[in-house]
Structures are given as structure tokens and as C-alpha cells.
Structure 1
């Protein structure tokens, strides 16, 4: 029985601005983002290989308090991106 080769998905974010979160540790946010998005794509896959518009991510991002931890920010961002990938770009 042969295995289906894994598809590689590249996510490129040119710039991410987190307004209202003070001096958040960007490396911790990025690490949490990578881990959560990898988990979501591995478990649930994606249906839209197209470019994902910023407004799609914004609509899927829940309101977060300014005191949110870097891990919570990264996880929420990854879930918003994955949600957009599941629905596809408008």
C-alpha cells in the first residue's frame, strides 16, 4: 500500500502589526503561530490553496485583550489564517 506524498504549504507574512499589545515578544508569537497552524493543517487540511487576503484573516480573528499572552496571540492568528484557508479567499 503506497503513501500519498504530503503537500507542502508555505505561508508568507510580509509584515504583522499588533496594535495595542505593548511590548509583546514577537518570537513567542511567531512560534505559537507556526505550531498551531501546523497542527491545524495536519489535522484538518485546507481547501483553498489561493492567496489569503488580510480582510479574511481580520474577520476570523476574535477580539483579544491587550494583555493577551504571545502564545494566545499566535494561536488566535493561526486559527484565523486556517479558517480563511478553509473557506478560501472572497
Structure 2
């Protein structure tokens, strides 16, 4: 059985000049890894709110990984 996560819109402000394709690929890869290694309870959530702050970085790859970890934390209900 697989888990499907659908993100309709992701808006990041203040990160101009980053390679958007690299950010998305890093995000997808890390979130897939996290969900495989630490599955979350199956829930239907419209919005994941109260996510941890993202680090300041000029690396699209680092931001994608940090964002995936933040979303995974949100899917777990804020539990690290």
C-alpha cells in the first residue's frame, strides 16, 4: 500500500534566485524517504499548519530537504 501526498500549492517568499526544479526534486526525494522510514498515520488533512521555521539558505537542495522535514513533522501532528 502506498501513500499519496498532494500539495496543490506551495508558496515560498524571500527565496528568490533559487533553482525551483532542484528545490522541488530535493523536497520530493526527502519527503519520500521520510514517509518510507517513518510513516505517518493515515489522515485526511486539508492543511498542515504550524510548521517549524525553515533555515536561511541560498541552497535549493538544502531548502528542499528542510521543507520536506518540516512538512513531515506537520503530517505527524507536530511530533519530531
TM-score by length of 1: 0.73
* Greater helix proportion: 1
Where in structure 2 are there 5+ consecutive unaligned residues?
A: none
Larger radius of gyration: 1
Q: Does 1:11 align with 2:5?
A: yes
Q: What secondary structure is seen at the aligned counterpart in 1 of 2:28?
A: helix
1:23-61, Cα deviation, whole Å (9 max, x unpaired): 21111011111111111111111124221514x2xx223
Structure 1 residues 33 and 87 mapped into 2: Cα distance closer, same or farther (>3 Å)?
A: same
Q: TM-score, normalised by structure 2?
A: 0.80
Alignment of 1:2-81 (within 5 A): 7-54=1-48, 56=49, 59-65=50-56, 67-81=57-71
Compared with structure 1, are the counterparts of its residues 78 and 63 closer, same or farther at alpha carbon in structure 2 (3 Å cutoff)?
closer
**Runs (5+) with no aligned partner, structure 1:** 1-6
4+ residue runs of structure 1 moved beyond 6 angstroms? none
Is 1:48–1:87's contact at 8 Å kept on the other side of the alignment?
Answer: no
